[in-house]
Amino acid sequence: MRNWMELKEILKKVVLLGDGGVGKTSLIARYVVNKFDDKYIATIGTKVSKKDIQVVRPDLIINLKLMIWDILGQKEYSKIRTSSMSGAQGLILVGDLSRPETVRSLEDFWLKEVKLSVGNIPTVIVGNKVDLLKKESMEAATLEAMGERLGYPTLLCSAKTGRNVEEIFSTLGEMLLEGVVSTAKTRKEKAPQTLAEVVDFIVQDFCAQYGDLEKAMLIVQHQFEEAGVDIRKPSKDAVLRALDGLAKAEELTLTKSVARVNLEERQRMVILSKG
Amino acid sequence: MMEQDIKIETLIVMSVAIFAVLATVAFLVPFEDSNTKLFFIALVTVLTAINVVGLFMVWQSSPTIVDEVFLMTPTGMLLKHYTRRLRPDQDTDIMAGMLTAVQNFVRDSFDEAGGRLNEIRFENYDILISHTKNVVLAAIISTKKPEKLRVELKNANDDIEKAFGERLSHWSGDKSELGDVDVLMKKLLSGKYRK
């Protein structure tokens, strides 16, 4: 029934783990928003960075913010590591393909620790420094076999050349967004009936698409006042006038075409409503 | 400014000092009769009392200025951010994460009993942090009167926990599922939690 795009903003906490020196920090350095120096990893055991990913689906645009917690790789500091892992919803496990012991410890140590702390979460296994690898390397095969056995996607990449680095985040992003559907689908698209219900639906929809609830409500309030909408007993004419104002606000924040589609759909709902 | 730095202890010390000076003067000055002397001492006492009450009212009426407020989950995810200052270089999501990382570090390094970091002081800034099970409120203030804001933060946090705690305990990260937390945050920012 609805044919406009819904915008969703989703925040996910992702932890980056692996032995010291495998290249975790280098892996994210060029591809994420870094606001703090890498020295924080050595001083407080963690550094937080952010990666924004936009996922477009037929009726849904998702702005996914991956908050990436790069955690100290020294195995002794388990207490601080456990605190930092708390609430993690995704995991990137990194091994150094030129150091076999770091690949083995992914399953033997890191994965066990994550399972103890946060349970089973979407995981991507990464073999870094593929640029140093000789052809038909045993380590790459071992890593891929491990990923297959555990059921996790495996990527061979290089922080130095940039090979497959973006794919790490997009693969994990897709895994984290599995099951995310538009609010319309969640609500099974039960159309509002009375004019009051339609108005309520439009306000909620406008706020959800606008993003900033506080500003959105101010705009709604202003447009309703301008159009003379009595929220307790709205009239169709007044609501239709207010819709024009809301569409103008959406032209500035979304796009003209999205604002026009929204306006037409909302006008149709108001006209068809009872009351 | 003195008004910004003043604490209740300072007020008491100042008032006692004024009383002591005036009382000493009252005993040192050779009054003609004891009634005049008693009248002077009574006057000193009344003036000192007015001084204490006046200073206390000035201290109480001047508001604590909050520069920024971060509403977060205990795992470091930023739910809302409010600010008086535009800081384009600042990424508030990362700030919230790092603030949580620092708290984790301090807690894990210094407190075996699992306590929580409630305040960070840096030059002209105080960061006050209030915790409940599912909500963390951190306020950055530059007026050095944290004691007044601490209670407001706690009351606001308790209300947010009551209204949104259950939802936040299994929150997926979808901001549209949060609900209208702005109502309670506006109450805090407009000083309605002030007693």
Mutate to test the interface with B, among A48, A118, A215 (most CBs of B within 10 A): A48
Return the HEC string of chain A.
CCCCCEEEEEEEEEEEECCCCCCHHHHHHCCCECCCCCHHHHHHCEEEEEEEEEEEECCEEEEEEEEEEEECCCCCCHHHHHHHHCCCCEEEEEEECCCHHHHHHHHHHHHHHHHHHHCCCCEEEEEECHHHCCCCCHHHHHHHHHHHHHCCCEEECCCCCCCCHHHHHHHHHHHHCCCCCCHHHHCCCCCCCEHHHHHHHHHHHHHHHHCCHHHHHHHHHHHHHHHCCCCCCCCHHHHHHHHHHHHHHHHHHCCHHHHHHHHHHHHHHHHHCEC
Instruction: Using the structure block, give the residue that is written with the tokens 């001084």.
Output: B51
Q: Among 3.30.365.10, 3.30.450.70, 3.40.980.20, 1.10.287.3510, what is the CATH number of B66-189?
A: 3.30.450.70
Instruction: Out of B91, B180, B186, name the one closest to residue A35 (CB).
Output: B91
User: ipTM of the assembly?
Assistant: 0.70
Which residues contact residue A176 at a Cβ distance below 8 angstroms, ignoring those fewer than 6 apart?
A10, A12, A14, A64, A66, A89, A90, A122
- The answer to whether B73 contacts chain A (CB < 8 Å) is yes
Beta carbons of B94 and A48 less than 8 Å apart = yes
Decide if B48 contacts B19 (C-beta within 8 A).
yes
Q: How far is A250 from chain B (nearest CA, A)?
A: 18
Of A181, A129, A137, A118, which Cα lies nearest the Cα of A22?
Answer: A129
Residue of A nearest to B88 (CA): A35
The residues that bridge with A9 in the sheet, in sequence order, are A63
Which residues contact residue B59 at a Cβ distance below 8 angstroms, ignoring those fewer than 6 apart?
B3, B6, B7, B8, B11
Report chain B residues whose CB lies below 8 A from the CB of A52. none
Decide if A41 contacts A95 (C-beta within 8 A).
no
Positions of CATH 3.40.50.300 in chain A: 6-176
Of A69, A145, A46, which Cα lies nearest the Cα of B103?
Answer: A46
pLDDT tens-place values along chain A, 275 residues long: 446 778 889 999 999 999 998 999 888 887 887 767 777 777 788 899 999 998 888 788 899 999 999 998 887 777 788 889 999 999 999 999 999 999 999 999 999 999 999 999 999 999 999 888 876 678 888 999 999 999 999 999 998 888 999 999 999 999 999 877 766 665 554 555 688 888 888 888 888 777 777 788 889 989 998 898 887 788 889 999 999 999 988 888 777 777 887 888 888 888 888 76
| CATH code of domain A6-176 | 3.40.50.300
